[in-house]
Structure 1
Amino acid sequence: MLTYDLYWSFRSPYSYFIASRLRALEEAFEVRCNVRPVFPIAVRTPEFFEGRDPLWFSYFMADIRREAEFLGLPMRWPRPDPVYRAPDGSYPAEQPLIHRLTYLGVAAAERGRGLPFLDEVSRVIWSGEITDWHEGDHVRRATERAGLDHDELVAAADSDSERYRAIIEESQAAQRAGGHYGVPMMVFDGEPFFGQDRFDQLKWRMEQKGLKRRTPA
């Protein structure tokens, strides 16, 4: 069984773009994804955005719209944004939405349903089909579609948040050691593949290492 590490953020549209492909890959082939959710750059290193050329943001927005169209995926910037930005442009240390989401992602991974959870929840956040995705039962239903008990997952994230934060910090250190700081990043056999547009190269490398289709049940 081939394995790889996935570094992934709930605030990254590019992470949303690749989730369904990675999920389908694991369902069809003998490969296991070690899901390692991380906090987004805006939370880890908010100074990353300081001094950026204005063209960086305008190109980014144009690119994610084009890429969503190319992949045939619905997309709208989340309402609300999983990361809260203050009126003065700063990112407060307290980030209840993205912290909770990331803890839940770690908990889902521990229960062997990491990829389905990332895929289902990111669709709720990024598809544009739901406004106020954080209210009501939207995340609950996504969690259940991923094959998980929502109440049990939330209870685990709330009662053991310090342990989950430590796991996320370990993943963030491992991500940099793996070769990049951005998401999504896959590390297979010691080789980093940064970006959702590296999916085909990742699969190509796996095929070189003996990737096999799963035997139908």
Structure 2
Amino acid sequence: MTSKSPLAFDLFWSFRSPYSYLLLPRVVDLVATHNVACNVRIVYPIAVRQADFFQKVDPLWMFYLMRDTYREAEFLRMPYRWPKPDPVYMDPATRLYPPEQPHIHRLSHLGIAATEAGRGLAFIREVSHTIWSGTVDDWHEGDHLADAAARAGLDLAALDAAVAANPDHYRARIEANQDAQRAAGHYGVPLMALDGEPFFGQDRFDQLVWRLRQKGLQAR
């Protein structure tokens, strides 16, 4: 008798999204304790996909984002601070995001490499904690990323080498994820998708679990 395949959902996720960081401990715990798999699908942030997005948005959008993310982190009892440096560089003169980015492409492609190595969820959890928790400054320097990769069971140098050997592959994987993200029903992150149903935002995690239970979610 063949055993039933485990439940699975897609997680469309960005290294520049504070809400993506704030969601992760709940996803990690869900996967560790229940018969469900999480397919990590890294995408570029909206600032990279649409360079003038934040130039056009109402100023209250950013004001509320900052207030809400700090409040949500306090509510979740998670350490949180806007990263130093920001994973996405903005030109202070134009308030636009240039195509040449010092951090986000490397981070995103490393996330794809980690996913292909079967350690995507662990990798984004450890790296996002390093970037967003406020426990270190200059997260991009020294051994911070290498240590995070090691905690996820990976070797950062090996991941970097894989990306350098075939950068077009990793760009194509990101683009495919972004196409799948829109096909799932939204353009933002974090976006969880289950059997064609989108759950946008970290505040929709409980609804995702509710739907998974309807589909047979069981504790391990």
Partner of 1:28: 33
Distance 1:142 1:51 in 2: 35
2:43 to 38, 62, 74: 38
Per-residue deviation at 1:30?
1.1
Partner of 1:139: 145
Residue identity in the other structure for 1:169: E
After superposition, residues 146-185 of structure 1 pair within 5 angstroms as 146-185=152-191
The alignment partner of 1:96 has SS state of coil
Distance 1:51 1:121 in 2: 30
Per-residue Cα deviation, 1:74-127 (whole angstroms, up to 9, x for no partner)? 111000001011122111101130000000101111111111101000000000
Partner of 2:8: 3
The answer (yes or no) to whether the contact 2:51–2:98 under 8 Å persists in 1 is no
Aligned residues: 214
2:83 to 73, 78, 82: 78
Partner of 2:60: 55
Query: Is the counterpart of residue 129 in structure 1 residue 135 in structure 2?
Result: yes
* Runs of 4+ off more than 4 Å: none
Per-residue Cα deviation, 1:133-155 (whole angstroms, up to 9, x for no partner)? 00000010100101112221111
Per-residue deviation at 1:200?
0.7
The alignment partner of 2:103 has SS state of helix
Distance 2:100 2:56 in 1: 24
Per-residue Cα deviation, 1:22-62 (whole angstroms, up to 9, x for no partner)? 11111111111111000000000122223322211111110
Q: TM-score, normalised by structure 2?
A: 0.95
Q: Give the percent of matched residue pairs that are identical in Structure 1 and Structure 2.
A: 61
Residue identity in the other structure for 2:182: R
Distance 1:182 1:61 in 2: 17
Partner of 1:96: 102
